[in-house]
Amino acid sequence: QKEVEQDPGPLSVPEGAIVSLNCTYSNSAFQYFMWYRQYSRKGPELLMYTYSSGNKEDGRFTAQVDKSSKYISLFIRDSQPSDSATYLCAMSATGFQKLVFGTGTRLLVSP
């Protein structure tokens, strides 16, 4: 079993929809949780960062962490075609330990 599980998709939604992306993990020591966006043939780009539990909002993006369920989510409101990309979750136990990535979920937002 992988430490971090993520549905690879693809997830297809119409423009304007609310998108929910999720990851589950098995290592209860994880405390740092990140979401990256990766466009085709580009490097991952950091979108959201959360330390420990709770919610964080940035514009149309909201990240949630539920440590009791070992479950993290990224919500995208009013999705746009430009949001079409692969979304990777990543997490680590401490600031000095390696990030463990999910496989990524491919999102397609159609006009």
Partner 1 sequence: EAGVVQSPRYKIIEKKQPVAFWCNPISGHNTLYWYLQNLGQGPELLIRYENEEAVDDSQLPKDRFSAERLKGVDSTLKIQPAELGDSAVYLCASSLSGRPDTQYFGPGTRLTVL
Residue ranges in contact with partner 1 by CB under 8 A: 4, 6, 8, 32, 34, 36, 41-46, 49, 51, 88, 90, 92, 94-96, 98-99, 101-104
Q: From the CB of 22, what's the least distance to partner 1, in Å? A: 15
Shorter beta-carbon distance to partner 1: residue 96 or 111: 96
Shorter beta-carbon distance to partner 1: residue 79 or 104: 104
**Residue 103: CB atoms within 10 Å:** 16
Q: How many whole angstroms separate alpha carbon 32 and alpha carbon 86?
A: 20
Shorter beta-carbon distance to partner 1: residue 17 or 100: 100
Cα–Cα nearest to 23, from 36, 39, 14: 36
Q: From the CB of 111, what's the least distance to partner 1, in Å? A: 25
Q: How many whole angstroms separate alpha carbon 9 and alpha carbon 70?
A: 20
